[in-house]
Amino acid sequence: MIKDEIREYAKTLGIEKLGFSKNSVVALFPYFVKGEEGNLSLYARSIDYHIIAEEKLKVLSKILTKNGAAKIEIQVDKGEYNDRRAAYEAGLGFYGMNGMLICQEYGSYFFIGQIIHDLLIDSDPICERDCLMCGRCERECPGKALSGGKVDEQKCLSQITQKRGELTPKEESLIKHAKLCWGCDVCQRVCPHNGGLETTAMQEFMGDRISHLALSDIEDLSNSEFKKRYGQYAFSWRGKGVLLRNLKILFSEGKSDEEK
């Protein structure tokens, strides 16, 4: 059966959780690493997940081509399709109150990648589990961005750290308070579904990790030096300016102990 063939091959690529929704093969890429402090969000500390996941899916897609697929499209994050929805429809997880897709094995600390194809493959049954609905994510969210499973992008600290331009004093204080210069993990950190997770078995996420940035790491770099040094990390996609702004806020006079 084609599903078994794909699953078996995926395993040889280190992909353990894979599902099928009508027109796509959806794979999860767990990235949790235990006990690692830092001021970068956990998702951005390894070599860019787009690179890692896309490479694996490209190899995996050969099986689909071999089985007669004429149209193949690989999407990891960037693109027109909704990755969470695809993973949900492929039975890989359930929606949390924090808007994240969650599964038993990885909690919410996984990336989603999909191969959109034109073969006829049945969908897997959807996941029966549900969010505990404890509400911790809503209560602890720095920007109070969560409500009823939806994320108000304008209020989400992850978005605030990633957007260009000048920030309002309120947005600056959110960065300062959360002690993060890129992304935000608060709604995941407080989530009981993420309790007791083990470090990812995907070795690709373990090499050359950067968990912390200091102002001195980037302030004297030219844009091209910055790109050369950090271009393979997801926190660099907006360029040096946004990170520098955030680090200046984080390390500004007398406000937090994280500074030096």
For binding to ligand B12 (CB under 6 A), which residues are involved? Answer: 41, 43, 76-77, 79, 82-85, 88, 95, 98-101, 108, 110-112, 149-151, 153, 156, 158-159, 162, 183-185, 187
**How far is the C-alpha of 213 from the C-alpha of 234, rounded, in Å?**
13
Closest approach of Cβ 224 to ligand B12, in Å? 26
Known catalytic residue: 257? no
Number of residues that make up the chain: 260
Q: Which is nearer to ligand B12, 2 or 211 (CB)?
A: 211
Q: Which is nearer to ligand B12, 62 or 150 (CB)?
A: 150
Beta strands 110-117 and 24-30, pairing class: antiparallel
Q: By the 8 A CB rule, do 67 and 119 touch?
A: yes
Closest approach of Cβ 162 to ligand B12, in Å? 6
Closest approach of Cβ 10 to ligand B12, in Å? 17
Q: Which of 4, 48, 77, 217 is catalytic?
A: 77
Q: Which is nearer to ligand B12, 88 or 251 (CB)?
A: 88
150 DSSP β-pair partners: 147
Q: Which is nearer to ligand B12, 105 or 219 (CB)?
A: 105
Map tokens 């049954």 to a residue.
Answer: 125
**How far is the C-alpha of 89 from the C-alpha of 227, rounded, in Å?**
37
**How far is the C-alpha of 26 from the C-alpha of 83, rounded, in Å?**
8
Nearest of 249, 60, 67 to residue 170 by alpha carbon: 249
Closest approach of Cβ 45 to ligand B12, in Å? 10
Q: What are phi and psi of 118, to 5 degrees?
A: -115, 25
Q: What residues are labeled active site? A: 77
